[in-house]
Amino acid sequence: MLIDTRRRIGAMSIAREVLYSAHNSTGASSQTFLDAVCANARAFFSGVSIKREPGGSVPKEIAIPLALALNELLTNAATDERGQATIQVGLNQRPGQIELYVQDCGSGFDFEEIQARASGLGLVTTLARRLHGTFTMERRAGARCILRIRDQ
C-alpha cells in the first residue's frame, strides 16, 4: 500500500514539475509529460519497457489527474505482464478531445469484474467522470485502456 501511495505522489509531483518548467503558461508538451510520468512508473517495475507516442500538449488544469490516471494504467499493465513486457502509451490531442491510452500485450482482463471491486481502474473511472470524459477498455493483443477527455 505504501508503494502504491509513493507511486501516486510521485506521479502528481512529476506532473507539477513538468508544468512549472513548461515555457507555455497553458500547458506542457505531451512528450515531456509522458517521459516524466513513465520514468516515475518505470522506477517501480523491473523488466518492463514503456514505449510512448506523444502528440499535442497537456492542458495544465488536467495534468495532475491525467498523471494519476496514467500511473494507475501503467501499474495495472505492468502487474498484468509479470516479467519482460512492453507497454505502449499514447497521448493524442484532436479537436475537442484529448485521448490517453495504455496498451499491454498480456492476457487482458474482465473490465466489469475489475470495476466491481476496489482497484486503480476505479480511480481512473472516477477521474474520467470528474474530467467530463470516458474510460473504456478494448481487448486487442492484450488490453487497451483509453481515457478520453474533452479539450476545453
Domain topology for 2-150: Heat Shock Protein 90 (3.30.565)
Task: Give me the residue label for grid cell 523488466.
Answer: 47
Nearest residue to 108 via CA among 135, 81, 73: 81
Model confidence pLDDT, tens digit, residues 82-125: 556 788 999 988 888 999 999 988 665 555 555 545 567 888 99
pLDDT in tens, 44-61: 777 788 888 877 788 878
Joined together, the cell numbers standing for residue 36 give: 516524466
CA 89 to mean position of chain CA atoms = 8
In angstroms, the CA 20 to CA 11 distance is 14
Q: Are 98 and 151 in contact (CB under 8 A)?
A: yes
Give the SS3 label for residue 74: helix
Question: Other CB atoms closer than 10 Å to residue 84's CB: what's the count?
Answer: 9
How many C-beta atoms lie closer than 10 Å to residue 108's C-beta? 16
| Each residue's pLDDT tens digit, 129-139 | 999 999 998 88
